[in-house]
Structure 1
Amino acid sequence: MKKIVWWSIGVFLVYGACIWVYLFYISDTSIPQSLKGTSVDPATFMNARELMLTEKYSKIRDALFFIRIPYEWLGFILILVLGVSKKVNKWSKDVSRFSLLQTAIYVFWLSVLLLIYSFPMDWISYKLSKAYHITTQPFQGWMKDLFTDFWVNYATMFLVIAVLYAFIRKFSKRWWLYAWIVSIPFTLFLTFIQPVVIDPLYNDFYPLKNKELETKILHLADEAHIPAKHVYEVNMSEKTNSLNAYVTGIGSNSRIVLWDTTLNKLTEREILFIMAHEMGHYVKKHIYVGIASALVLSIVGLWLTKHLARFVIKRWGKALKITSLSDLNSLPLILLIFSILTFAVSPLTNMQSRHHELQSDTYAMDLTGDKQAAIKTFQDLTKSGLSQVNPPYLVKIFRYGHPTILERISFVEKYERNE
């Protein structure tokens, strides 16, 4: 047990040091000499202070991202090795003889432990964002969102875990397949209800106040065959200075949403370009492609989880206090394996996402043909989020679901509209 704990902590510290050295001393975020002085060069649209803040903020933010993931893995290992998971499982059985109630109790206390464990990282991220004026949300509002997250995640996790362990106990060999089959309608259901049930838990949504702009956006939506009767505005300025807009949901629950920060900081031409981009996702059916890709990856992930969990329990089950996968106290192991697999496949999923974003940029340019608005939009997004124009390679492949700003502006500059 001690060996596993100390090795885990040691590997985590060495990894963290390597990430810090890579981001702060090795990686090169400068733009190619041939692009100096062009619209891609941040020196042409940001002042010296903004350039300095962007470099500092981006490096610290990226370091936190890369450190947070193994920090989460370390938490799962400690909960198992120290016997915490086993004790919580035993306590849930002492409280009730009903398996469903046992699951509810176990998942609740595990969720509380993980909330407490992850709080320092959440707090550091919040304070960093606040210090660089990305976040405008007061502490009370941030805590409210944190607890809303907790209850939404708890409800979802309870349903998933209750079904998952029912399958593990009844179908020891093919539980992964039955779990995947059930996940299909569940994923579609969550995607369908998110715009009207989940999102409003965090923010207030209301019809766009600028009716003239709404008419222009709905005209674009009509050209894209999006069944939307309204454009929604959300009061994100209470929480952030960042800019965003999106088209979400499926079928009759599709929604076109603009952050009020976008409305306040961008011109009408830039807003129309952004909305054309978001509509491109709908036209290209990226939501459905994303769901299909997730389902393909999940069936592979569940199959691998079954075999990896069985191997780990056979090899280190005693040290991890796990005797059988069917026991609830094996849940941190399942979460650990799934988290590692998710991280491992993230370069692939991010690459697909970047391809979709490029398709949407192309669609927006085809629809608007407004190069100037597109370039200004990308420059404004860079400034508002203190984002690097040319991030380090590892940051790009593990973090970026969008092409880099360098790639996006370069694409627009070279774009030729097909008449």
Structure 2
Amino acid sequence: MKKRLVLSTLVLFPVYVLLVYLYLFHWTSPDVPQAYKGSAADPLTFMTAQEMALSQEYSQYRNLLYFIGLPFEILIYIAVLVFGWSPIFKRFGERVSKLSFIKIPIYVLLLSTVVWLISFPLDYIGYRLSSQYGISTQNFSSWMRDELISFWVGFIIMGLLITVLYILMKKAQKRWWLYAWLLLIPFFTFMMYIQPVWIDPLYNEFTELKDPVLEEKILALAHQADIPADRVFEVNMSEKTNAMNAYVNGIGSNLRIVLWDTTLNQLDEGETLFIMAHEIGHYVMNHLYMNLGGVILSSLAGLYLTYRLLHVVIRKWGDEFGVKSVSDISSLPVLFLLLTVLSIISTPAESAISRQAERAADEYAIEMMPDREAAIGSFQQLTINGRSEVNPPALVKFFRYGHPTMMERIIMLEEYEKE
């Protein structure tokens, strides 16, 4: 079994990478359809030849990196199992302490460190690529700081979740997936509540919007939509990126309206207000809560399928991998492997749902701020600054695009004008 896994990986992964490369670089074209040539969605009408070339190159390399990374974590977990690292991590934790709330987090820390170290080259290539094409403005030390913060925040959260999960596995072997899901409901809600005020500030500095006139106009839009906000926050993203963004996140008293300073620096007032109207549209249509509900429902399906599959895998191959039972912490790589596979399978469906929500927010924004030129201008500027493709390949759209493509968004605005 182990030898077959290794041989299959050595043969299939390079073939997969080659096929993805051919698809992205040779089998697809970034050109817009003939019907949209000369329209506001045609890059030739708003981008220079150099900007178009840079956008195409950056998008192709970025997409290649994404698709290489898609199965990469699966391969790491397979390596942990094949080379017998999982029982070693378990024994190390047990030597430190026999208590579950100590030995399980130690195991999680060791596994997380291995995954992070093996994944680091891909992450670094992504950082260098972003810097080379003028997206990232971060120096290496700043980027590493963010990487380490993400690692430790992720470890703390994961260490807690996995400790509770494996205690439930021992206590309720047939219902642990259900009890774990019931505990995840308040956890997801709590995380959504604390993220704007506890987690996001770990990465960037948030201040009140420095332009009082613009803040007043944004708050007027927010109050029109019954958003309980009395300030707009500005975040100093220009220290890290040239990309633009704005969002409304959090729930209850921790809800925040946020603008990146790059958005303020690169869009005019009308374009900025359209972008904010789009984000307000998400709140008005309850997309924040719908996203929360979607995460809760998908976690139920994911936990149940993992419960069913985990028993099958451990029963067939547990002895080869040194995993004694499902509730044995050394089964964690198998659990993560299964969750990663399920996540990849569900990604196209999740992206399609997200694209529908984003289209609805676009439609709300143009109704609220019927300045078509500003709306189209904001999308064109987002394309230029983000080195984005206007019309990405279908496979890229299905897996990577939680928004409609820029071509679809701009065409929608032009058709709205006609309607």
The answer to whether residue 97 in structure 2 is matched with residue 96 in structure 1 is yes
Q: Which runs of 5+ in 1 are unaligned?
A: none
Aligned to 1:78: 79
**Is the partner of 2:391 in helix, strand or coil?**
coil
Counterpart mapping for 1:11-410 below 5 A: 11-410=12-411
Deviation at 1:16, TM superposition (A): 1.1
Q: Distance in 2 between matches of 1:27 and 1:302?
A: 37
CA RMSD of aligned residues (A): 1.1
Per-residue Cα deviation, 1:241-291 (whole angstroms, up to 9, x for no partner): 000000000111110000000000000000000000000000000011111
Q: Distance in 2 between matches of 1:130 and 1:40?
A: 27
Q: Which deviates further from its counterpart, 292-301 or 240-249?
A: 292-301
Deviation at 1:190, TM superposition (A): 0.1
Per-residue Cα deviation, 1:31-70 (whole angstroms, up to 9, x for no partner): 1112111101001111111111111110110011011021
Tell me, yes or no, if the aligned pair for 1:9 and 1:74 is still in contact at 8 Å: no
Q: Distance in 2 between matches of 1:88 and 1:2?
A: 22
Tell me, yes or no, if the aligned pair for 1:31 and 1:41 is still in contact at 8 Å: yes
Tell me, yes or no, if the aligned pair for 2:372 and 2:417 is still in contact at 8 Å: no
Q: Which deviates further from its counterpart, 30-39 or 398-407?
A: 30-39
Q: Distance in 1 between matches of 2:108 and 2:100?
A: 12
Deviation at 1:319, TM superposition (A): 2.6
**CA distance 1:113–1:81, change in 2 (3 Å):** same
Q: Distance in 1 between matches of 2:319 and 2:24?
A: 38
**Is the partner of 1:233 in helix, strand or coil?**
strand
Deviation at 1:417, TM superposition (A): 9.4
Identity of aligned residues (%): 49
**Is the partner of 2:95 in helix, strand or coil?**
helix
User: What is the TM-score when the length of structure 1 is the normalising length?
Assistant: 0.98
Per-residue Cα deviation, 1:316-339 (whole angstroms, up to 9, x for no partner): 223322221111111111111101
Tell me, yes or no, if the aligned pair for 2:169 and 2:176 is still in contact at 8 Å: yes
User: What is the TM-score when the length of structure 2 is the normalising length?
Assistant: 0.98
Q: Distance in 1 between matches of 2:49 and 2:356?
A: 32
Deviation at 1:416, TM superposition (A): 4.7
Aligned to 1:4: 5
Tell me, yes or no, if the aligned pair for 1:165 and 1:326 is still in contact at 8 Å: yes
Q: Distance in 2 between matches of 1:281 and 1:365?
A: 13
Tell me, yes or no, if the aligned pair for 1:81 and 1:321 is still in contact at 8 Å: no
Tell me, yes or no, if the aligned pair for 2:248 and 2:255 is still in contact at 8 Å: yes
**Is the partner of 1:326 in helix, strand or coil?**
coil
Deviation at 1:181, TM superposition (A): 0.4
Aligned length: 418
Per-residue Cα deviation, 1:113-153 (whole angstroms, up to 9, x for no partner): 11101100110000000100100000000000000001100
Per-residue Cα deviation, 1:162-187 (whole angstroms, up to 9, x for no partner): 11101111111111000000000000
Q: Which consecutive segments of 4 or more residues in structure 1 shift more than 4 A? A: none
Q: Distance in 2 between matches of 1:7 and 1:154?
A: 31
Q: Which deviates further from its counterpart, 311-320 or 22-31?
A: 311-320
